[in-house]
Amino acid sequence: MIDEKLRMWGRRTQVSLQQTRNSFHFCGGSILNERYVITAAHCVEDKIPADIIIVAGTVNLNRPSIKRVIKQVIFHEEYDPSNSWLNDIALIKVFTPFKPSGNIGFVTLPKQDEAVQQGTAARVSGFGRISEDGSGSKVLQQATIYITDQEYCKNMYNKILYDIYDTHICANDPNISRGSCKGDSGGPLIVNGKLVGLVSWAKGCSLTDYPTVFTRVPSYIDWIEKNAVEI
């Protein structure tokens, strides 16, 4: 069951990225302002804007509220999928602006390089798979996880030959398997009402030993403000 307060938060800021031809959900994102959505670069790197439709303003994909066509995708200039998906961040510009309403709101950003403390509770949400071998959810799912010690995350992923950088932030629940899975990529990690992470990659789904790796949004505020211009 999804708490109603969380449901309202998710409905206003969360989006579903879908294939235009069949409405298949493949990634998440968050509404930044009237013109832009923020997501993970790997979600849109192999697609053209015409292939993607943005669905917003709903927690149930069987009842889509608002749809937007994409005008432009802006990738981070140093995005590198071959190097632990470094700089896995992109902005999507829409043709028709999002207007704030009961169903639409804008996500709150932290300050550039704002610290996120280890152990802090964080909220992750998405329409992705309920389990690693399961199917996606038509209803928005949300879970509370915890910011992981950065050195622990580095050490765990070094064991399997992946690097964790300062522009990554890691989170999971060390006691219960819950959190993000396939289809949640690009979606938000929220701490104290602020967007601090974008779902990027992980070993498996919601493991208790290997945290999920997120793009650390506070590292990119200057880049976001430079590129997400409302014109």
Judge whether 194 and 121 are in contact, CB under 8 Å.
no
DSSP-derived letter for residue 9 is H
Q: Helices marked H in the chain — which ranges?
A: 4-13, 41-44, 150-158, 221-227
Q: Which of these is catalytic: 42, 125, 137, 173?
A: 42
Cα angle 126, 128, 13; round to 5: 20
Q: Is 88 annotated in the active site?
A: yes
Closest by alpha carbon to 186, among 128, 135, 115, 139?
A: 128
- Kindly report the number of other CB atoms within 10 A of residue 70's CB atom: 21
Q: Which of these is catalytic: 88, 173, 180, 206?
A: 88
Q: Which of these is catalytic: 84, 137, 185, 219?
A: 185
Q: Is 42 annotated in the active site?
A: yes
Q: Which residues are tagged catalytic?
A: 42, 88, 185
